[in-house]
A and B are shown apart, each in its own frame.
Chain A
Amino acid sequence: MTATLHVSVWRGGAVGSLAAYDVPAQDSQTVLDVVTYIQRHLEPTLSYRFACRVGMCGSCAMTVNGVPRWTCRTHVRRVASGGRLELRPLENLPVIKDLAVDMSDFFGKWSRAHGAFAPAAGLGEDFARVAPESPERQAASAGIECIGCGVCYAACDVVRWNPDFLGPAALNRAWTLVNDCRDGDGAARLRAVAGDAGCHACHSQQSCALYCPKQLDPTAAIAGLKRATAKAALWGKL
């Protein structure tokens, strides 16, 4: 590896430009390490987000050499061709400043997709028994590890074309709840995800699944929602 990394970083908001920094290369360096080095040593006013640094909180996603990634777990060695890095904010979300985007739309869509658990049981009722091997539990488990990083949302063409599209993460979340036997939201959630810019707008081209750092498959979750809403419509229950 070259001893120095040549890093261009987006500075500004919706309008702005790339600024160039030279950062010493190190073994096992992550992209987040590079950004932190720039902020601590070269450009104290650089804005970016991180919290856990171990791939749990989902706050550190950026566009790295054109690809949306979680930066705390992306090694420079794997992505910097010729010692060059270009860091931009995530696509499809308004830029607040530099590498920090406004996630309000992203999380607002989770609530529009009824992404909150709505318990079916009342207080004092017995615990639900969920068979680990039941197909519903398996389907929920497949999508449950989402960290809300927004990488899939930034990679989705349909979000780009139709800003109202609920997007892969919110729909993936809804699908885990549709499969949760303890949840009582039922048809209301199906109605929420099947509207004008809901699951039926997805093209199934799998950019979300390709880039999700947790290797989730929102495309499969959305396909599940399409089937579930179609079934509900056919039975007159939508």
Chain B
Amino acid sequence: MGARGETWLWILQRATAAVLAGAVLVHLATLVYAVRQGLSAAAILARTEGNLAWLGFYLLFATAAALHAGIGLRTVLREATPWRGPSLDVAVLLLAFAIAAAGWRAAFGLFA
């Protein structure tokens, strides 16, 4: 990947970090709230089903997490192993897509 690609990955990594910083807090607050209130699965679903705000939030969260993990893993592998070049880029892209797909599936599961 050339100068433009590396720079865009860096920008993306910073941007997704900023999103995650907020999203993780919201996610944790939601978790604590659900546990404290002793909300059942049904009660949680009742709040999230058909709720576009939660759907949007979790789609964004999952996408940011997938991109952030993919870019970070690429960096770690390039430093810790001799694996570099296009095959690595494709592999982490596939992994990022798998993470995102799992997240999106869960988000839609809460929505519909």
Please report A residues at the B interface, Cβ cutoff 8 Å. 158, 161-162, 190-196, 198, 200-201, 226, 229-230, 232-234, 238
Contacts and interface: CB of A to CB of B under 8 A. Distances in A.
Main secondary structure on B side of the interface with A: helix
Given A162-B79, A194-B7, 12 more contacts: A161-B79, A161-B80, A193-B3, A195-B3, A198-B3, A198-B6, A201-B75, A230-B7, A230-B11, A233-B7, A233-B8, A238-B7
Nearest to B75: A201
Chain B interface size, under 10 / 10 to 19 / 20 to 34 / 35 or more: 10 to 19
A21 B89 CA distance: 51
B78 interface: yes
Nearest to B85: A196
Interface of B: 1-4, 6-11, 14, 75, 78-80, 84
Contact of B3 (A161, A194, A201, A226): A194
A196 B14 CA distance: 17
A195 B9 CA distance: 11
Contacts of B9: 200
B11 A233 contact: yes
Contact of A190 (B1, B3, B14, B79): B3
